[in-house]
Structures are given as C-alpha cells and as structure tokens.
Amino acid sequence: MKLIGKGFTAKVYKGSFKTTGGDDAPVAVKILNDDYTPLVNTAELVDELQVLSRVHHGNVVAYIGYTYINRTLHIVTEYMDGGSLHDYIRNEKTILNCQHIYSAFRNDKTKRIFQIFCLY
C-alpha cells in the first residue's frame, strides 16, 4: 500500500481490493493512529460504520468495510483520484455552503437533515 495522506487521527493508504469478478479495484484504507485509538469509543464508531454501509449515493464515497489488524482499526472505502477534499477546496477556491450540500442531496431523503442542520 502507498501512503497518500495523514493527519492527527489516521493515515490513509491507496491499496487494492479483489472484486467478486476477480478484478483489482483501487481503494483507500484509513488506519487509525495508535495514539488516537484509545480516545475513540470504538463501539460507537462501529455503529456509525454500520450506518455508513447502508448509504449508497452518487455524491458520497462508497464504504466497503472495516477490519481490525493487530487491534488497529482499518476502514476501507472507494478510492477517489484528485487528492483530499481539503486540498480540492483550498486549490479550487471552492466555498461549500449549506446550499451546495443541500443541492447534492436534493433527490434524497437526507435533504431534510441538511435543511435542519443549516438552520443552526
């Protein structure tokens, strides 16, 4: 795996995942830092990952799964070219506001959640 990003909570690697058809698909693997792991309520995090596994939307990175290796959490998602969202926003001078987020989900039941969120 190749390191493609790191932060306070985790490192992110580009890897590959064998599909059911036998092809290799690129994936992103987020590995929580050992220093951060004790600060996380892992039961809540696993619950959130299970919710994420049910989200299928064209504007949301696909969640593939998670595993523990040597008691360290590894989260596997779809790999997206183009760098991090932070870098994209900074380099493109894009300003995401509630209207942008709402329009991304305009055909989805989640739009009500964003309407409520943007009120506060």
- Tell me the domain boundaries of the chain: 1-81, 82-120
Residues 44-59: tens digit of each pLDDT:
777 878 888 888 877 7
Average pLDDT of the chain to the nearest whole number: 76
Predicted TM-score (pTM) of this structure = 0.67
Percent of the chain with pLDDT over 70: 65
6 annotated ligand binder: no
Quick one: pLDDT at residue 49? 81
Please determine, for residue 118, whether its predicted confidence score (pLDDT) is greater than 80.
Answer: no
Please determine, for residue 31, whether its predicted confidence score (pLDDT) is greater than 60.
Answer: yes
CATH architecture of 1-81: 2-Layer Sandwich (3.30)
Instruction: Specify the long-range contacts of residues 25-30, CB closer than 8 Å, at least 24 apart.
Output: 25/79, 26/79, 27/64, 27/76, 27/77, 27/78, 27/79, 28/4, 28/61, 28/76, 28/77, 28/78, 28/79, 28/80, 29/1, 29/74, 29/75, 29/76, 30/74, 30/75, 30/76, 30/77
